[in-house]
Copies of this chain bind each other. A is one copy, B any other.
Amino acid sequence: MTEPHTWPTGRLLSVAARLVEHSWQRFLATRDLTHAGLIVLHLLADGPCSQRSLAQSARVTDQTMSRTVERLHRAGYVSRDADPHDRRRTIISVTGEGREVHAEALRAEREDPQVLGAVQDYEALRGQLVELVMSLGVDRAVDLRPPAEPD
């Protein structure tokens, strides 16, 4: 059971995620950024956005997004302004520096064959992951497993 091919799929995914994210460490650390912040910059590329919809798009809780945005703001990559129409809301916009570092990241990922080149059909893998995320991520609130025989 010590070989990966016998592992539960969830574990396989999380280990793979950490390995890939680890390969970004040097890039991110030198820019006072983490991958949690990076995906926010990615999501903001289309334009400003409320913090809540940011959380929903990124598939994290509002609380987690709150903290991530706070760090991004401290690093100078996003700005936070109150929505004049609904003062509960905070509108997040990317700054020039944020746009810059995001562009760098996109370039780095595109020119990054050595890390993920190990996988035979990289695009197929991505396709299946997208499928998985889209089908399971539509409503994170639901309980995916049935009551599960309560012993």
Chain A contact surface mostly: helix
Are A10 and B24 closer than 8 Å at their CB atoms?
A: yes
A57 at interface by CB-CB < 8 Å: yes
CB of A124, distance to nearest CB on chain B (Å): 7
Fill in one digit per residue for A109-127: 1 if any B CB lies within 8 Å of its CB, else 0: 1001011101111001111
Report which of B112, B124, B143, B150 forms a contact with A128, defined as CB distance below 8 A.
B124
Report which of B5, B23, B42, B43 forms a contact with A130, defined as CB distance below 8 A.
B5
Interface residues of A (CB under 8 A from B): 1-2, 4-27, 30, 35, 38-39, 42-46, 57-59, 105, 108-109, 112, 114-116, 118-121, 124-137, 140, 143-145, 147-148, 150-151
